[in-house]
């Protein structure tokens, strides 16, 4: 092709994205932005109520997230700046991590699927018929992934689809 389609733009150089594999997405007006952020916030709250209800969590700016491709070339200062800058000690001197999260459009970063297992299950079936990956409304549970230190999650990637985001603004 010798002509430019001008459908997909590129991130300007003054935008501080840490990964070249993270898409830059924007919409036409502030109302769409608010609707999407409200939706994401509610979905994230619902997920954390299911997986760890008492966790102290904060959002990591979307432009600061990285993918598995970035791990080999990212500097260690990235982790200190984004995950450990707000460490605090409790009254016993134990470190309290504040769990970070951000959305992801990359399924490879979010391999964990929640499932519902009926209370009637007694553990004798290898593949229980009462196992479901849908919530009470029939929708698939939200997928997520983590970055862990010593088996303890310090960051959660929370999977959203672009179609899901578009449905919210429509």
The helix (H) or strand (E) run that includes residue 150 is none
Domain boundaries, the chain: 30-169
pLDDT score for 118: 65
Would you tell me how many other CB atoms lie within 10 Å of the CB of residue 145? 20
Q: In this predicted model, what pLDDT tens digit does every residue of 57-88 receive, in sequence order? A: 899 988 899 998 898 888 989 988 988 888 78
Could you tell me the pTM of the whole model? 0.81
The larger pLDDT score, comparing residue 136 to residue 41, is at 41
List, as one string, the DSSP characters of 108-124. GG--EE--EE-TT--S-
């Amino acid at each position: 092709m010798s002509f430019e389609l001008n459908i997909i733009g590129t991130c300007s150089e003054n935008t501080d994205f840490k990964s070249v594999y993270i898409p830059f997405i924007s919409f036409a007006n502030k109302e769409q932005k608010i609707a999407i952020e409200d939706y994401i916030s509610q979905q994230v709250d619902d997920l954390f109520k299911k997986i760890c209800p008492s966790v102290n969590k904060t959002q990591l700016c979307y432009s600061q997230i990285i993918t598995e491709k970035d791990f080999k070339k990212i500097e260690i200062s990235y982790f200190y700046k984004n995950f450990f800058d707000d460490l605090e000690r409790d009254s016993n001197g134990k470190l309290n991590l504040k769990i970070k999260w951000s959305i992801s459009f990359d399924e490879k970063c979010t391999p964990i699927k929640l499932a519902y297992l009926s209370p009637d299950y007694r553990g004798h079936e290898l593949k229980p018929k009462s196992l479901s990956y849908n919530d009470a409304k029939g929708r698939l549970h939200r997928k997520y992934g983590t970055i862990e230190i010593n088996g303890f999650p310090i960051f959660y990637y929370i999977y959203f689809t672009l179609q899901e985001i578009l449905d919210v603004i429509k």
